[in-house]
A and B are shown apart, each in its own frame.
Chain A
Amino acid sequence: MRLIKENSPHINKDSSVKRMMLDVLIALVPVVIYSIVQFGFGAVSVLLISIASMLLCEFIFVFLTNKKPYDGTKQKFIDRIKYAKSKATINNILTPLISAVIFAMIMPAGAKWYYTLVGAVSGIVLGKLVFGGLGGNIFNPAALGRVITMVCFGSNIAYSSVSPLFGVDVMSGATPLGALANDLAVVNFDTIKNLFIGTVSGSMGEVSKICILAGGIYLIIRRSADFRVMLSMILSFALVMLFAGIKLTDNSVIFMLYQVLSGGLLFGAIFMATDPVTSPVTRPGRITFGIMIGLISALIRLVGAYPEGVAFAILISNMFVPVIDYYKWSTNKYSWKHFLIWGLMIAIVVVIVIFGL
């Protein structure tokens, strides 16, 4: 028996990164099941390609970064692979798995295989691995991959599917947001209901709001994601949309609900914006971050060229994280300054929306 010298504290909380990651995966399960049920093989293929390519990239990264110290003999390739395998931890499997599932869920079902491949590989390599793997990344890998496919292939990605679950051809070709751009008159209570249940076209995981909310509630109960980011993002977005609705339509509440429930806003708020690695570390900072995503995605939807802007908004806000966390003003205590900044941010966007539309 030895007495070990260690620094205080000598006890640790029963929590781990692994548990947080597993929770996110569990929260994603309903969304994944729904997407497979609704979109069938198209969903499975996107999911599998995305998972396989991201895991492979992560393993190549582990292989390249873990080299046995040179001991005079040339190492065989197979030995190096074995060594890398021994160095890979559970985090090298779980984190790319989460990124891959989230990335697949924001892709349209039945996207051509090389769209998915390009998006997944560029997402994890440019978004995460070039920064040094887990914990070092600035950008959300899934959002980056999605934006790259959007920019590269753009209009080639068609949202079309026949739902095996509901047997109806759900607004073939056009997503709800695409439809909205054409005609504001389609918005009524039934559309809202359909949006909520998920009998609409759209990206694989983004259609069923019930499943997304169930995952979100699980994450909040398990404390594996920060509710501040989710709430501030959704609320600020809803507020801007309420004002835009007053300007554009007769029934602004329906318009607001439509905007909140359509597209990837809820999915982005619950699964992407809450990624702790790419969000600030303080409570007020996280609220600022959430408000920023909400406002930018509202602006992109209302005045931008793309019908959907959550992925862009998340990437843009990711770039602001070091600024929000800058030591000269970051604090973990709420003060009137924070409320002033949040109010100003929302007010500016509301003014843009009211006078710009």
Chain B
Amino acid sequence: MIEKTRGIKDIRKLTKSLPTIRYVDPEYVYLAVTNARCGTSEIYCKPGDYVKIGTVIGMRHGGYFDQPIHSTVSGTIVGTVKKFHRAGKMVDFIQIKNDMKNTFDESVHERTDEEISKLTKDEMAEIIKNCAVVGMGGSSFPTYIKFQTKDPIKYILLNGIECEPYLSSDHRLMMEMPDRIMIGIKYCLQAFKAEKAIICIKKKYDDIYEVLDAVRQRYPELPIEIARVGNFYPQGWEIAMIKSALGIDIPSGVLPAKYGIMNFNVATVVGIFKAIKYNLPVVKRYFTLTGDGIKFPQNFRVRVGTSVQELIKLCGGYVDEDKDKVFILGGPMMGVSHVRDDVIVTRTVTSVIILNHHEYTEEPCVRCASCVYSCPVGLQPVSIMNAYKANDKDAIIKLGVKKCIECGLCSYSCTSKIPVTEYMRKAKKLIK
């Protein structure tokens, strides 16, 4: 249709009001040796070693940072196995047999409120670095680097929008652990000396608003606001979120910190809370397993390192075993599809969506321009696609494909079912 596509048929109601199932004691957990941001690593332990929750068992080396690998259960190391990482690569995973005793490492200790109130931003950054807290919305960007910013921060924005359809892990997190979010915000406010913190949620979710508003009353000293922003996609994109919540337009390519804004995912803030309060790395997370290809869509609180196959079994398995499925890690708009369900829940996996596969026939482009109208960045995907087909690099650069956030709206709204987003990626590669 010739219109701006903003809303995406919301299928979150599949899971959003279901209670979370706690599945925190799997028999084995698997920890990735390398990940998308860290290409190399070294392992400090050998098969047979006994590890506890929070024990550092290795170190991943990224381009400009190191990231310790923490054990998420107590038990013995079995060895390494090959499994799929969320990026779609087969990588080595350290397999740990859970002894179900949940003993904590010596490094895990509770800090008193007094101790915490004396912490400076750099000390907090150090703690967060040692606990390897990363952006839990899916970016896996090391959080301590955000803490090292030199820019004065005025506002802290919490991203609880979760604008992708189907996903509800952040929704459940906000419903069930609002206290941890508030205390996490308290630490962030203290670290950045920010004026106020704003929790951004979708306007249509009254339930989250009521919970957060009620819990906010318990912390009258904290300058926390709740912004009920738009329901459209991609509202969770940080630039769209900042525009909706604060009215500040940030040009693409500029860090929000330059404008005095720091944003975190709500799950990251809970990670920060755990790290600062208990010196504990992220060992559990909320996880959604949903889609029309699974029997009972469900929210889980799982141990990091759980195999998705076990969770699928808990959900009753696949629907219509004879039909082809699409197995997506992340949201249906930006997630990566996998050809094997042999995937591990890492810290940054928010969800797995299993959809029945639909084969679309691609029709010729009729220039209806719904992609142009829908593009949140204001690009012209159809022109970029034609320029890519003509191999016209000048035109691709001038049309600004680098600004593309690959939100997938152009493909989603295409009346001819052309994979426009894929052309955007190819065009980006072409001008590299």
Among candidates A4, A8, A91, A282, residue contacting B363 with C-beta atoms closer than 8 Å: A91
Of B42-50, B168-176, B189-197, B332-340, the one with at least 4 CB within 8 A of chain A: B332-340
A17 pairs with B366, CB closer than 8 A: yes
Task: Write the nearest CB–CB distance from A96 to chain B, whole angstroms.
Answer: 14
B interface, CB within 8 angstroms of A:
1-3, 5, 8-9, 165, 318, 321-328, 332-341, 353, 355, 357-358, 360-361, 363-370, 372-373, 375, 378-380, 382-383, 387, 395, 398-399, 406, 408-409, 411-417, 419, 421-422, 425
| A135 neighbours in B (Cβ, 8 Å) | 364-367, 416
- Let me know if B324 and A12 touch, CB within 8 A: no
CB pair A282 B369 closer than 8 Å: yes
Q: With A1-B322, A277-B366, A327-B398 given, is the CB distance from A10 to B372 under 8 Å?
A: no
User: A191 at the A/B interface (Cβ < 8 Å)?
Assistant: no
Output the least CB separation between B9 and chain A (Å).
8
Among A32-40, A194-202, A218-226, A344-352, the one that faces the other chain is: A218-226
**Which 4 residue pairs are nearest across A and B when measured between Cβ atoms?**
A9-B408, A135-B364, A223-B1, A281-B369
Q: What are the residues of chain A within 8 A of B339 when measuring CB–CB?
A: 3-5
Q: Note all chain A residues with C-beta closer than 8 A to B5.
A: 13
Please pick, from B1, B8, B324, B325, the residue contacting A11 in the complex, using a CB distance under 8 A. Answer: B8
A63-71, A238-246, A329-337 - interface stretch: A329-337
Q: Which residue of A lies closest to B327 (CB)?
A: A3
Q: How far is the CB of A46 from chain B (nearest CB, A)?
A: 27
Which listed residue (A3, A9, A19, A327) contacts B332, Cβ 8 A?
A9
With a CB–CB cut-off of 8 A, which chain A residues contact B421? 7-9
Bound form: Cα–Cα A6–B417 in Å: 13
* Complex: chain B residue closest to A227, CB-CB: B2
Complexed CA–CA distance, A333 and B328 (Å): 34
Most chain-B CB neighbours within 10 Å: which of A8, A136, A276? A8
Q: Are B367 and A12 in contact (CB under 8 A)?
A: no
B1 touches A20 (CB 8 A): yes
User: Binding site of A, secondary structure by majority: helix, strand, loop or mixed?
Assistant: loop
Set of chain A residues within 8 Å of B3, measured between Cβ atoms: 223
Residues of A1-53 contacting chain B, CB below 8 A: 1-17, 19-20
How close is B88's CB to chain A, nearest CB, in angstroms? 9
| A277 and B355 alpha carbons, distance in the complex (Å) | 33
Q: Identify which of A4, A14, A17, A136 contacts B416 (C-beta below 8 A).
A: A17
Inter-chain contact A20/B415, CB cutoff 8 Å: yes
Asked whether, in the complex, the Cβ of B378 is within 8 Å of the Cβ of A331, the reply is: yes
Nearest B residue to A328 via CB reads: B398
Given that A11-B355, A332-B379 are known contacts, is A6 also in contact with B372, CB under 8 Å in the complex? no
Q: Is the CB of B366 within 8 A of A134?
A: yes
B351 shortest CB reach to chain A, Å: 12
Interface digits, A126-166 against B, CB 8 Å rule (1 contact, 0 not)?
A: 00000001111000000000000000000000000000000
| 4 more CB-based (< 8 A) A-B contacts, given A7-B422, A135-B364 | A10-B333, A134-B363, A277-B367, A327-B399
Chain A contact residue count (CB 8 A cutoff) = 45
Are A12 and B364 closer than 8 Å at their CB atoms? no
Task: Assess the A16–B398 pair: CB atoms within 8 A.
Answer: no
Interface string of A282-296 (1 = CB under 8 A from B): 110010000000000
Contacts A7-B419, A276-B2, A282-B372 hold; do A133 and B364 have CB atoms under 8 A apart?
yes
User: Residue on B with the closest CB to A325?
Assistant: B383
Q: Give B381 Cβ to nearest chain A Cβ, in Å.
A: 9
Structural contact, B1 and A9, CB atoms closer than 8 A: no
Give A287 Cβ to nearest chain B Cβ, in Å.
13
B334 cross-chain contacts in A, Cβ below 8 A: 8-9
| Interface check A89, CB cutoff 8 A | yes
In the complex, the chain B residue whose C-beta lies closest to that of A1 is B321
Determine how close the nearest CB of chain B comes to the CB of A22; give it in whole angstroms.
12
Q: B366, A6: Cβ atoms under 8 Å? A: no
Determine which of B337, B409, B417 lies in contact with A10 in the assembled complex, contact meaning CB atoms within 8 Å: B337
B357's nearest neighbour on chain A, judged by CB, is A4
23 A-B residue contacts at CB 8 Å?
A3-B339, A3-B340, A4-B325, A4-B337, A5-B339, A7-B422, A8-B421, A9-B412, A9-B421, A11-B165, A12-B358, A16-B415, A20-B2, A89-B363, A134-B366, A135-B366, A222-B1, A282-B369, A286-B369, A327-B398, A330-B380, A332-B372, A332-B373
